[in-house]
Amino acid sequence: MSQVPENLRYTKEHEWISELSPTRFRIGITDYAQSALGDIVYIQLPKQGADIKANSVCGEVESTKSVSEIYAPISGKVVLINSDLDSKPEMINSDPYGQGWIAEIEISTSKLEESLLSAQEYQQLTA
């Protein structure tokens, strides 16, 4: 069974989002997603400084099984990327909610996307 931390919000495309401040958020892919992908061998991170739009592709994860797109859970500016993933993409497999985070996004409004799911809603989706 996949880990689904209660304090995070989720997308139907299997990304998670964590609030760092009212306007800054950390994103990554879920335990369910990394498990389905298998051993991750490469990640194309979003570009630092790029403006991204919610529900649009902002990166890519490549595993021994397949390639999967990463969708932005929110609209905003990429203010920090986890450059450790360039040399250690497998951190997503071992710690998807910790060291395997992908990027930090800053938003101009404190209003989040209404399409984000609670932990309970996400668990129902992946059950």
User: Residue 100's domain is classified under what CATH number?
Assistant: 2.40.50.100
Q: Which pLDDT value is given to residue 99? A: 97
Mean pLDDT of 21-45: 95
CB 27 within 8 A of CB 101: yes
68 within domain boundaries: yes
Mean pLDDT of 4-30: 95
119 within domain boundaries: no
Residue 62 in tokens? 């490549």
Mean pLDDT of 72-78: 95
**Cβ contacts of residue 111 below 8 Å, gap of 6+?**
none
The domain total for the chain is 1
Helix (H, G, I), strand (E, B) or coil at 35: helix
pLDDT tens-place string over residues 46-70: 999 999 999 999 999 999 999 999 9
d(CA 17, CA 2): 16
114 within domain boundaries: no
96 within domain boundaries: yes
57 within domain boundaries: yes
Q: Which of 23, 9, 1 is nearest to 97 (CA)?
A: 9
87 within domain boundaries: yes
Q: Which pLDDT value is given to residue 110? A: 61
Q: By residue range, what is the domain housing residue 20?
A: 9-109
42 within domain boundaries: yes
126 within domain boundaries: no
HSE, side-chain direction, 13 A CA sphere, residue 89: 16
